[in-house]
Structure 1
């Protein structure tokens, strides 16, 4: 019945499409397309109007426009776009009985570009516009717009930033590394407001929360100014949410696909998580004589599940008198399945194995996003904007591991079986209110407030261990080996900002100004973790080929004394208040030289209270510091093509809340514990960059950077009976230095009849050197920093063929990072190394007519093995600690624009 309904719905959808394709739009008199003269790239948000009338339109994401209701006559038609010369086509004859087609190619205007203060956000989806912003900015910035994300088949913000030089993703770690600096050294913002993390393990929210359906552009600031956030050493990654482009639109898309590993797998799905990814998080209560768990221990089997995505988006501009009000809405649902076989090992300092297991892991990722953007502009002097976003993201996994582990001491062979089932169910609400006022010709006010609320759940994590004996596989005894675990993170995050800018007169491009303002962040965190130990009393044998833990763990066996229940609660709370005041000045000293000088004062107060480790560790920790943070950014334009930028700044990095609370977290192959004695890091940053703008869409950029970090923080492995990872100020200081290159070039771009034929190439790469002398490290000569890949390379080759109403784009995307440290080894342990791998993706998209779009994506074509390794001291041989292949992902999508 469900399949029948699906086919009926699909047939109805296709019927609507067919009707629309063959229906004539009798109201349209003029239609056409607006493109950049050099790159032939469509220009989004260009205004087209009939001179002397109120009839006008704004170009859409493909540069198309339509004019309706034009009476018969001869007219002049004007086209305007920020940073381009205005074009007027004169004496155009319009006849109501036929459609007039007009295409425009605009030339950039260097003088107009220098006069632009703010490039309209609605235009930032275009690659040429994001490049234009980079060119104009005094503070160096790298941007990726929505069109580039689409061309490269990027699915989320995480994928977007890893296409930028010097940025990579570490396997098993949620967030990215920028210039060798990981999560704690970066900061993530949405529309320039910081947003909290859904996971107590991390400072920043997972970037894969943000699908490209809601992204207008992603900016990466690796240099810093007075008006920017200061708890950062690597980069400020800012996500700009989508806004309405044009007068109105309505789009629907659906896609489906498979992971090649999943197709042939015996896929397992945990109980208690519904089709939308919401998990049943209700706990059984305090009566330990009642087995009150609502979810089953035994997972279900699912054959060949299919990845799927559905998106509906649209908006409209409405005139309220002479003032425009616009809204844009997005709703999206995604579900993805993955499966892999994993080798899991651990070793002692000599290199001898203490764990050697084979794992089979089934993963399901589900998400929903609802976003609303409302904007109102009054007399072109006052703009107020409200942005709402709800993100729900869940991940569930079932892992079966079989083999040897030193923890299985009750077995003569140290062999056993572990099943670990885990769900992470996270919900984020974002509310942002922003306003910009032109108070006078020289004074501007920019102010805003945001309120974020996050709920991060790890509901009913289930761990069961069996050991192999002469009787067969029996339940293992001990604390934590038969466990059900519930954790909750609740965070309220309030952000305030207000800034005044005064335009200073200068005799050049009128870029000079002075600004001053306030930024505040008030964060309240509460975290609790409840563990239920199901302690084994009678060890009844299990059939390993047909496991059923529910037959052992139930009310009857609890009543009969086969096992007992115990409960423990760990808790910690964090209050973080940061108040900042800043002043910065931008002044154009000569025709080519512009300077930006700033200073910022930050007052930081963090209070942490904890009662963890079964009541064995209680206490509190406070950090109360004042910072004075200077910054300098210089830009020198030799001419319109060449620019040189120099930046210097001081910033800081605060320890994460979890890192300064001695809470213990248990994973499959490691345990981590916080360190209350951590101190903040001070970061001193210097950058030098040369940009050569070959054209409006082509660029050659070369840069170098240096960072000196006092009291750097890193994760380390410590020798202990529990085998814990922890966090330390690993050295008195660390140095980070490197070079980056970016190259964009059209290999050819040819005009053909009614279209364009274009092949373009992009390349960026970086070399990063990091060094710290770590007193606790096994290698006393010095160590790289955690996650710092010396070499990173990203490349793409895109071909585009556009003719009349058909537009085909194909892209091959390549990425590579070299070997890097996953965890610094100490107390006799060698470093854990994540081995470098290449990846290759193929993406194709086609637009057919005015409404249809098709996409084909083939990701991870090389299917390289992900692995962690470590060398033993005695054997001097490499031990593979973790190894698996993610499988290739294939998907096909359809988009319809109404």
Structure 2
């Protein structure tokens, strides 16, 4: 790392003094009263040097000394050229004013602008002009804040926090089941049986152009909505051809001097295939129980991306973009966990020392091909492949309730998820009044957990010697799980413009559309339990010396041997896996009418009808749906009517007042309904086939002011009322398993959001400015849900008995206070343009788990995070960066609020990390 830093600083120093000239200027729109013309192309003829103007019409190019001709163009406008000569270190300004070609309408500008919405200024401008309430974050802001994936990106938006240890988010206190995720407006499948949505951290910034977050419902969005729809807009090429390469490295600060453990089997690239053994009479496992040691726990990343446009005939153009990247990360955290009863002196399990090692990889490939047939006619084909893996080894040292022995558990888990997304999207202008927009997609996911290994040992008088635990056949086990999910989705709508006014624009738009999705999930799991006979001693890293083919017994019960059984025992069907199959069909028709009643007042009123069919069949370690007496009660067959209303009042050119109201629903997920028992280290969970949908009522009021380009000040109030909300519960039984239920008749959340983005100071000259800017957003909210034990018992026919400690509680995962702050400084030295950003985030105390059987609720304490992001653009080709993340190294702490005292049940420290990156534009 020291060598990398030396090279980084050397490049910075040498390149800063490279002598080039700088061409700058401002492009104006003659037909719009000389307003700045955003997204105009500025290209040096005969070279690959080019750029586009920003939202203020400004551009800047770095060129070698010489004589050139610059070409300035905008689709539908005249093209202007000018020759110039520039010397080393010289700054030359060329300003131009473009006018539209004869016969070209201003609607052309809207189409062109929508293609390049990635700068902060452009996205804020789109937010200001939109009738509906929407927030977006683009690649420019992601880069400035050191964001590497979509999960981290959306947490920079008001009201959104990330779920600890995953790529899932909470929006206004509502977790995964209340949110939806789309790519270019089409749904994405889930990569994890535990969750509804795909992990947002699968999408690196290399595939993202911008991310739109809609926290208010629109009828052209899927009706399974409560918190937000998160729409990832993938990259598409425009402008001059480009080819870029990138590299990164770094490390967590707490990894020095330790043996980093990884599960045996998977390779470093994150690709692995392990076949489930087809016998329990022989030892057919191809990996070791004992973990391996990673040689160099250094994070690495590589990427390449590029695009080009080709003219087809007089009007047509093909745009191609592709990227591929590989990234790996090592992380380690140490901590404690405790399982308490209903008093602080009752400790059921005390995990007094836990080490968790995690090695993650991500391989991403994107291809995008768009064909602009002519004005208003475009076809786009997108294909994305993502392979992600997580190789985790957890070592748990613990004592049971009578503290008679020290015990050691190890769980080695490898998760591999492969996501394939294919989309064909069309935009067609049929006439001046009529447009058609459509899209189809086919997506599928392979989510495998091959060969999860669990061991439980009892420490002896010699701390280096352990005895295999024989309390349960599953104490020492291997588990194989695979999930395949396919989804076909489609959307189509017609937009009809009506009531043309004196300014030759239309006051009204009618949208009529259809959306459909057909999803199928197949889940299979087999667990192999090792029955160990007699007292067998081992070291914690010599488990393979006993659990091997030579000690597998032909005759059960022989001391010093073991036999293998599955969760079904040793009977004839022992190798039949546990399965569940889920099917979801949703077909919807909708309409909305957008009408400008005046220059200041616009309204959108719409309605949607969703026909929902959700069914699930299962054959698990609980029972089979074939034997289920009340199977019909587990099927959801509904017709939902979903109205929505959006109002916008333009108080001035820079100030808006908005209102939105809607009704939506929330479906239970397949895993929540399937009665499959998933065994964790410190607890197990199983589904509830009696779960049914929740109904959501949503309302928002927003005031926003845009003082200047790239600036905003907004305040929003929101409220949500949920009928029959779904919650995770603890079943009242000896095992204390977790399940899911419609835990009460209602829940609600209400709060206030505030956002400020402001340029604080501009110094220097127009040619060499330095800028200080800041952003702040904060959310305060109150949430409450009713908890009714008898309701759960009655609605599950007594199968799920629960004893809530309290009759009311906050929503799980809802933090009452969220704060994000960033402070940026940038300086233009010509060929050397450094930038520094300090990013701070705070998530307040939140409910983690509901109390049961007299035990108090479990809360997670408030957490702060501070990152420092440094970058420098050198010339037009090289970008260098340094990041220092989690500077404060804040602990993750959870406590159980029992009646006699509050006691910590979870305490982890994950360490800080340092990273270095390099991006180079070949052309």
TM-score, structure 1 as length reference: 0.90
Do the aligned residues in 2 keep the contact of 1:438 with 1:444 (CA within 8 Å)?
Answer: yes
1:170 aligns with 2:196: no
Deviation for aligned residue 1:473: 2.3
Structure 2 residue 517 is matched with structure 1 residue 533: no
1:832 positional shift: 1.3
Q: Given the alignment, which residue of 552, 556, 559 partners 1:558? A: 552
Q: Which residue pairs with 2:770 in the alignment?
A: 757
Worse-superposed segment, 215-224 or 346-355 = 346-355
CA contact (8 A) 2:166 2:199 kept: no
CA distance, structure 1, for counterparts of residue 72 and residue 27 of structure 2: 14
Secondary structure at 2:121's aligned position in 1? helix
Work out the CA distance in 2 between the residues paired with 1:326 and 1:57: 16
SS in 2 for 1:585: strand
How far, CA to CA, are the matches of 1:837 and 1:211 in structure 2? 25
Question: How far, CA to CA, are the matches of 2:674 and 2:746 in structure 1?
Answer: 23
For residues 313 and 183 of structure 2, the distance between their equivalents in structure 1, rounded to whole angstroms, comes to 31
Offset of residue 43 of structure 1: 9.3
Q: Give the match for residue 739 of structure 1.
A: 752
CA deviation string 1:255-301 (max 9, x = no partner)? 1000011223321111011111123321221x212111011111112
The equivalent residue for 1:888 is 912
8 Å contact from structure 1 (residues 596, 634) kept in 2: yes
SS in 2 for 1:250: strand
Task: Specify which of 233, 241, 257 is matched with residue 248 of structure 1.
Answer: 241
Residue 543 (structure 1) aligns with: 539
Residues 43 and 63 in structure 1, CA contact (< 8 A), matched pair in contact too? no
Distance 1:49 1:806, change over 3 A: closer
In the superposition, relative to structure 1, how do residues 33 and 312 fare at CA in structure 2: closer, same or farther (>3 Å)?
farther
SS of 1:296 mapped into structure 2: coil
Task: Decide whether aligned partners of structure 1 residues 465 and 707 sit closer, same or farther in structure 2, where only a CA change above 3 A counts.
Answer: same
1:858 counterpart = 2:884: yes
Shift of 1:174: 3.9
Alpha-carbon contact 1:232-1:652 (below 8 Å) kept: yes
Counterparts in 2 of 1:395-794, with a 5 A limit?
395-406=390-401, 413-468=404-459, 473-477=466-470, 478-507=472-501, 510=506, 512-544=508-540, 547-559=541-553, 561=558, 562-568=561-567, 569-613=577-621, 615=623, 619=628, 620=631, 621-752=634-765, 754-776=767-789, 778-794=804-820
Alignment partners' CA distance in 1, 2:614 and 2:189 = 15
1:355 maps to what in 2? 349
Q: Residue 129 of structure 2 corresponds to which residue in structure 1?
A: 136
Contact 2:19 2:89 in 1 (8 A): no
Secondary structure in structure 1 of the residue aligned to 2:709: coil
Cα distance in structure 1, aligned partners of 2:52 and 2:14: 25
Work out the CA distance in 1 between the residues paired with 2:919 and 2:706: 34
What are the superposed Cα offsets for residues 387-412 of structure 1, whole Å, 9 maximum, x if unpaired? 00000000011111112135xx9xx7
Q: In the aligned structure 2, how far is the partner of 1:243 from the partner of 1:760?
A: 29
Shift of 1:539: 2.3
Could you tell which deviates more after superposition, 731-740 or 771-780? 771-780
**In the TM superposition, what are the counterparts of 1:63-142 in structure 2 within 5 Å?**
63-64=59-60, 78=72, 80=74, 92-94=82-84, 102-103=92-93, 117-118=110-111, 120-142=113-135
> Who is 1:822 aligned against?
848
Matched residue SS, 2:419 = strand
1:333-352 matches, cutoff 5 A: 333-351=326-344, 352=346
Secondary structure at 2:828 match in 1:
strand
> Is residue 149 of structure 1 aligned with residue 142 of structure 2?
yes
Give, in angstroms, the shift of residue 100 of structure 1: 9.8
Q: Which of the residues 184, 187, 204 maps onto 2:197? A: 204
Q: Note the C-alpha offset of 1:693.
A: 0.6
8 Å Cα contact 1:189-1:195 kept in structure 2: yes
Corresponding residue number in structure 2 for 1:897: 921
What residue in structure 2 maps to residue 394 of structure 1?
A: 389
1:879 counterpart = 2:903:
yes
Q: Is the 8 A contact 1:57 1:67 kept in 2?
A: no
Shift of 1:93: 4.5
Q: Give the secondary-structure state (helix, strand or coil) at the position aligned to 1:456.
A: strand
Shift of 1:23: 12
Q: Distance in 2 between matches of 1:123 and 1:719?
A: 55
**Residue 391 of structure 2 contacts residue 413 of structure 2 at CA under 8 Å; is this kept in 1?**
yes
Cα offset for 1:775? Answer: 1.7
Q: Find the aligned partners of 1:56 and 1:339 in 2 and give their Cα distance.
A: 44
How many Å apart are 1:35 and its aligned residue? 8.7
Distance 1:788 1:105 in 2: 51
Is 2:276 the counterpart of 1:277?
no
Distance (Å, rounded) in 2 between the aligned partners of 1:59 and 1:405: 65
Quick one: structure 1 residues 615 and 294, their matched pair in 2 at CA, closer, same or farther if it must change by over 3 Å?
farther
> Does the CA contact (< 8 Å) of 1:718 and 1:827 recur in 2?
no
On the 8 A contact 2:48/2:240 being kept in 1, the answer is no
8 Å CA contact 1:715–1:728 kept in 2: the answer is: yes
Q: Is contact 2:413–2:453 with CA below 8 Å preserved after alignment?
A: yes
Report if aligned partners of 1:711, 1:732 keep a CA contact under 8 Å in 2: yes
Contact 1:579 1:604 in 2 (8 A): yes
Q: In the superposition, relative to structure 1, how do residues 241 and 196 fare at CA in structure 2: closer, same or farther (>3 Å)?
A: same
1:100–1:332: structure 2 CA closer, same or farther, 3 Å change rule?
same
Aligned Cα root-mean-square deviation (Å): 3.4
Q: 2:896 aligns with which of 840, 854, 870?
A: 870
Q: Distance in 1 between matches of 2:266 and 2:405?
A: 34
Provide the C-alpha distance between the structure 1 equivalents of 2:106 and 2:806, rounded to a whole number of angstroms. Answer: 53
Q: Per-residue deviation at 1:750?
A: 3.0
Matches of 1:775 and 1:566, distance apart in 2: 40
Instruction: Say if 1:317 and 1:807 are closer, same or farther in 2 by CA, change over 3 A.
Output: same
Residue 806 of structure 2 is aligned to residue 807 of structure 1: no
Which ranges in structure 2 are unaligned for 5 or more consecutive residues? 30-35, 100-104, 568-576, 790-802
Closer, same or farther: CA 117–631 of 1 in aligned 2, 3 Å: farther
Shift in Å at residue 379 of structure 1? 1.7
2-side partners of 1:552 and 1:36: how far apart? 78
Looking at structure 1, the residues matched to 141 and 154 of structure 2 have their Cα atoms a distance apart, in angstroms, of 12
1:397–1:553 CA distance, 2 compared to 1 (3 A) = same
Q: Give 1:220 deviation, angstroms.
A: 0.4
TM-score by length of 2: 0.88
Quote the Cα distance in structure 1 between the aligned partners of 2:832 and 2:86: 26
Residue 122 of structure 2 aligns to a residue whose secondary structure is helix
